[in-house]
């Protein structure tokens, strides 16, 4: 067991040659970096990502590289978390994307925010949205407006993975209870939901990362309200609602012993009222599920009514 490092930064790479080096350098520039280990699993890259990683590993002893076969982001991510728990006495785990950029206080602020409690905790923050060259767009990612609890996290990914930092207590519960990663649509959403169910989500509205918008982004926030609306319509059309519903169903299966009676009842009603339009309309009028913004909650309800979450 490696007791030298307190924090493990977990990063899965795949064909990330364009942005991976500046991202890793931003982690190495974190305050108190001597306590941080960067564990990188390459998921079978076919570009020069591996060569860049090997070069950086030779220069910095904070970096550990795992060369893997292509198993996909979700499985790669969970294998990293399992590896971190088994191979180090880390107190905290920070998750990292291959194309963003961390401001130098990101980890310090995150740890300060969750170190006083021993219950399972997830820290997340907002990001500045930048272009491929890190030029600030003037926009930020989602801020906390309402309480972040299961009734919100079940249907909204409020804590993107590049901002997530969890303590060991939460990490152990995640690994112990997550059995089939093939049933997980989004590891970010899964982690946030588990934290909301078994512990607490600590959200910081200040920006401590740069979220890079470029052609390969899978999420995207849009440059304006019109672009934002188009992005959400595209996601609805590609059946994202059904993917979220399937993940919610599996989440309740894995964590039912941690969930309150009220939470379990809400999930039950969410699925049992899907088969007819009349039932969907009746259910959605009294649902406890909500998104952070009012307009987003309305969109969620409309999508549910038209069968966007129906399995």
Q: Any idea what the Cα angle at residue 91 is, between residues 168 and 72, rounded to 5°?
A: 60
Classify residue 52 as left (phi > 0), alpha (psi -120 to 50) or beta. Answer: alpha
The backbone torsions φ and ψ at residue 29, rounded to the nearest 5 degrees and listed phi first, read -90, 5
Residue 256's pLDDT band, with cuts at 50, 70 and 90, is: very high
pLDDT at position 97 over 90 = yes
pLDDT at position 221 over 80 = no
pLDDT at position 84 over 50 = yes
Among 298, 244, 291, which Cα is nearest to 271's?
244
Q: What is the mean pLDDT of the chain?
A: 92
CB count within 10 Å of CB 274 equals 17
Among 302, 249, 291, which Cα is nearest to 146's?
291
Q: Return the pLDDT at 126.
A: 96
Q: Give the residue-averaged pLDDT of 151-164.
A: 96
* CB burial of residue 254 (10 Å; 0-12, 13-18, 19+): buried
12 and 77 in contact (C-beta within 8 Å)? yes
Handedness of CA 164, 238, 74, 310 (dihedral sign): positive
**Domains of the chain and CATH, by start:** 7-222 (3.90.550.10), 227-305 (no CATH)
Alpha carbons 301 and 309: distance in angstroms, whole number: 10
* CB burial of residue 11 (10 Å; 0-12, 13-18, 19+): buried
Q: Give the residue-averaged pLDDT of 118-122.
A: 96
Q: Give the residue-averaged pLDDT of 44-73.
A: 96
Cα-based torsion angle of the residue sequence 157, 161, 165, 171 in order, rounded to the nearest 10 degrees:
80
DSSP assignments along 254-271, one per residue: HHTTTS-HHHHHHHHHHH
């Amino acid at each position: 067991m490696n007791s030298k490092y307190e924090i493990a930064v977990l990063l899965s790479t795949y064909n990330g040659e364009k942005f991976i080096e500046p991202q890793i350098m931003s982690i190495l520039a974190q305050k108190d970096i001597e306590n941080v280990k960067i564990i990188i699993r390459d998921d079978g890259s076919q570009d020069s990502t591996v060569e860049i990683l090997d070069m950086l590993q030779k220069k910095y002893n904070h970096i550990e590289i795992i060369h893997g076969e292509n198993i996909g982001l979700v499985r790669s991510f969970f294998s990293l978390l399992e590896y971190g728990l088994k191979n180090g006495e880390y107190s905290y785990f920070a998750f990292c994307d291959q194309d963003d950029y961390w401001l130098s206080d990101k980890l310090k602020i995150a740890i300060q925010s969750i170190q006083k409690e021993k219950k399972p905790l997830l820290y997340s923050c907002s990001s500045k949205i930048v272009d491929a060259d890190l030029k600030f767009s003037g926009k930020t990612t989602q801020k906390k407006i309402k309480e972040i609890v299961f009734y919100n996290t079940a249907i909204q990914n409020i804590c993107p993975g590049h901002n997530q930092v969890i303590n060991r207590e939460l990490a152990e519960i995640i690994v112990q209870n997550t059995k089939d990663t093939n049933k997980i649509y989004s590891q970010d959403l899964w982690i946030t939901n588990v934290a909301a169910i078994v512990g607490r989500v600590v959200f910081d509205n200040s920006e401590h990362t740069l979220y890079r918008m470029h052609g390969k982004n899978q999420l995207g926030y849009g440059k304006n309200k019109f672009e934002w609306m188009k992005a959400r319509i595209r996601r609805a059309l590609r059946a994202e609602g059904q993917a979220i519903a399937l993940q919610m169903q599996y989440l309740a299966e894995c964590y039912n012993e941690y969930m309150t009676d009220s939470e379990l009842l809400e999930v039950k009603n969410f699925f049992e009222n899907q088969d007819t339009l009349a039932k969907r309309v009746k259910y959605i009028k009294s649902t406890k599920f909500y998104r952070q913004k009012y307009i987003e909650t309305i969109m969620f309800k409309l999508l549910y009514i038209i069968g966007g979450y129906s399995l």
